């Protein structure tokens, strides 16, 4: 498999419609990436991701630094889509629970729960 068969996670995040920082965070929390953003062995062996080693020279020196870039394969894109979808569903249910949209107590006119809560339209008292 060559580099053209896989894309960096930051590029994959764009096609998934999620920010790269959020995607990296999700992948770390699911154990797909290590804390140092390296693809973990089970996902590499399953063919979802692979690690590519790259290097660069520090500016003005002969010191070469190596780093690892996790790349997502075609099969890995489907896995990432599942993880992103699952996170979106979880986030919506969390927002509903935190906002109190599922069975919240009714507030009286002019009362606010907090600055983030949404209130149902209440006619003003006259």
What pLDDT, on a 0 to 100 scale, did the predictor assign at position 125? Answer: 60
- Spell out the residues 6+ positions from residue 80 whose beta carbon is closer than 8 angstroms to its own: 12, 16, 23, 27, 72
pTM, entire model: 0.67
pLDDT digits (tens, 9 = 90+) for 13-28: 999 999 999 999 999 9
What pLDDT, on a 0 to 100 scale, did the predictor assign at position 122? Answer: 46
Half-sphere exposure of 19 (CA within 13 A, CB side): 3
Residues, the chain: 126
Radius of gyration of the CA atoms of the chain, in A:
22
Q: Most distant CA pair in the chain: distance in Å?
A: 78
The per-residue pLDDT of the chain, averaged, comes to 81
């Amino acid at each position: 498999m060559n580099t053209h068969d896989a894309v960096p996670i930051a590029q994959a995040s764009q096609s998934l419609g999620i920010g790269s920082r959020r995607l990296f965070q999700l992948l770390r929390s699911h154990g797909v990436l290590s804390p140092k953003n390296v693809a973990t062995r089970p996902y590499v062996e399953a063919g979802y991701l692979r690690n590519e080693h790259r290097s660069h020279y520090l500016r003005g020196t002969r010191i070469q630094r190596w780093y690892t870039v996790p790349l997502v394969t075609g099969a890995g894109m489907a896995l990432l889509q599942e993880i992103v979808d699952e996170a979106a569903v979880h986030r919506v249910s969390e927002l509903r629970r935190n906002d109190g949209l599922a069975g919240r107590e009714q507030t009286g006119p002019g009362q606010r729960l907090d600055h983030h809560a949404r209130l149902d339209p209440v006619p003003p008292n006259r």
